[in-house]
Chains A and B, each alone.
Chain A
Amino acid sequence: MNRPNFPDDQEGAYLKFRDQINTFKWKLWLALIRTPPAPEQLKQRRIQHDWLREFIAKVPIRPGDGRPAGVSPDGVRRWALAYLEQELADPLSLLYDPMTNSQFEVFKQWMKRSAANGLSNTVTNIPARALGARAHNHADVEKAYSYPFDIQLPFEDEVRSIWGGGGGAGAHLAFASNAKFRGRDVFLDSHGYRQVFDIVQGILQVPPEARYDATNKLIADWSRKQNKGDIDYNDMTASLLSLRGAKIAVLKVANWFEADRVNNAELHKLITEYGRTTISVKQLPPMNRRVGVNEPRFFIVVRSHEGRLTVIDLRTREFGQLHFVSRLR
């Protein structure tokens, strides 16, 4: 059976590994406590599976649709149907047990939205769509992926978010217990909905009068008065600016493995020797370009006014947004 592989991303796996382990334990638990289905459940499952089979059979293959390695253009439909059957029969799949009627309505709506992305993506999106539908007891389609979740766990923890999708990314839960290690995936907007980033609290919205502040003075004043916010992105100058006296320094490492080997004392020393209030991010690639080992991403360390440290992996910039991952020390 040809299932697409999750991209070989050692760093991504490193940061999310604990989430993956806990997601695996949750799915294993669901399979282990499963009791033989009652006739009504069997009927409900058959109806839901039949709907999905008919739906997938009708999703069009569009020119330019992606397809897994080793599958010819003529074989995409056959591959998709085989993939679906494996999902339906897999005891760890979230389609194995029937959903409630309201959950299945949410699932159907999201599957219909996925269909706009072509057959291959629609099929590989099924696990993430099933997870979104099962994550709540309500039938609010727009809040399928929103916190808080109605997910019962067999261990002490809390689900903070859901991630995954097509192309083999699968469906995963992100847990409170891994929040600090995983870090924050941030898209900092510098245009109409201008934001600032606080290394502890995350993204903060600035008031309307400060959103188009080309000089950054209004934002700096607001941040100081609110006593929150550590960095701000200005797309016009392609630069990152510190707020409230925070200091920024470039950290010369290639990846998170190297960054995690630098201890806090060394980071403080770096800030003391090379800390500044602004840094250019012109070299960053656009968002729609695959970020790999040779791309000009780079790392910085930020020390807040309160003396807290965070290491930031600056990834991309495009459409007035700066994308980075921040991990608090």
Chain B
Amino acid sequence: MKTWKNALLITLICICLIGRADNVQSIQKPNVIAASRWEKTEFASAAADRFVGAMRKRNYSFLQQDKLESLQQEISNFAAKYKPTNVHPARQEALLASIDVMCQTTF
């Protein structure tokens, strides 16, 4: 009787642990997707493109093509240092959209 109870207890603990592991995995899933998406879409480069695109629209006479290219490289290198593996893809898109707005309105 006692052995049967112990077996049931162990089974229950195992089920709980597996369930917990599943939960952990489900929590981590968006991070994994975000990280792979990050590599795939090259967020840093996309952010730099948005920045330079906005600067072109501002049409500043002091920003020549070579200066724009150097700025694009600077922003891309800077953003690439901080790969946000915990940022969900939707938030990456929101961040890119925000870069558009900010660069077009406050620069």
Would A32 and B84 count as touching, CB distance under 8 A? yes
Interface check A187, CB cutoff 8 A: no
Closest to B74 in A: A21
Given contacts A13-B60, A92-B95, contact A32 B87 (CB under 8 A): yes
Would B103 and A24 count as touching, CB distance under 8 A? yes
User: Which residues, 69 to 126 on A, are CB-close (under 8 Å) to B?
Assistant: 89-93
A3 to B101, CA, bound (A): 9
A17 to B91, CA, bound (A): 27
Would B78 and A25 count as touching, CB distance under 8 A? yes
User: Which residues, 93 to 107 on B, are CB-close (under 8 Å) to A?
Assistant: 94-95, 98-99, 101-103, 105-107
Q: Which of A3, A10, A27, A33 contacts B60 (CB 8 A)?
A: A10
Interface check A34, CB cutoff 8 A: yes
Interface check A257, CB cutoff 8 A: yes
Would B71 and A28 count as touching, CB distance under 8 A? no
A33 to B71, CA, bound (A): 22
Interface residues on B, range: 20 to 34
Interface SS majority for chain B: helix
Interface check A35, CB cutoff 8 A: yes
Q: Which of B71, B87, B95, B105 contacts A21 (CB 8 A)?
A: B71
Would B82 and A29 count as touching, CB distance under 8 A? yes
Would A24 and B91 count as touching, CB distance under 8 A? no
16 other contacts beyond A4-B105, A33-B82, A168-B105, with CB at 8 A cut-off?
A1-B101, A13-B58, A13-B107, A17-B62, A24-B102, A25-B75, A25-B78, A28-B47, A28-B78, A32-B84, A35-B86, A90-B101, A91-B94, A169-B106, A171-B106, A172-B106
Contacts from B to A (Cβ < 8 Å)? 47, 51, 58, 60-62, 71, 74-75, 78-79, 82-84, 86-87, 91, 94-95, 98-99, 101-103, 105-107
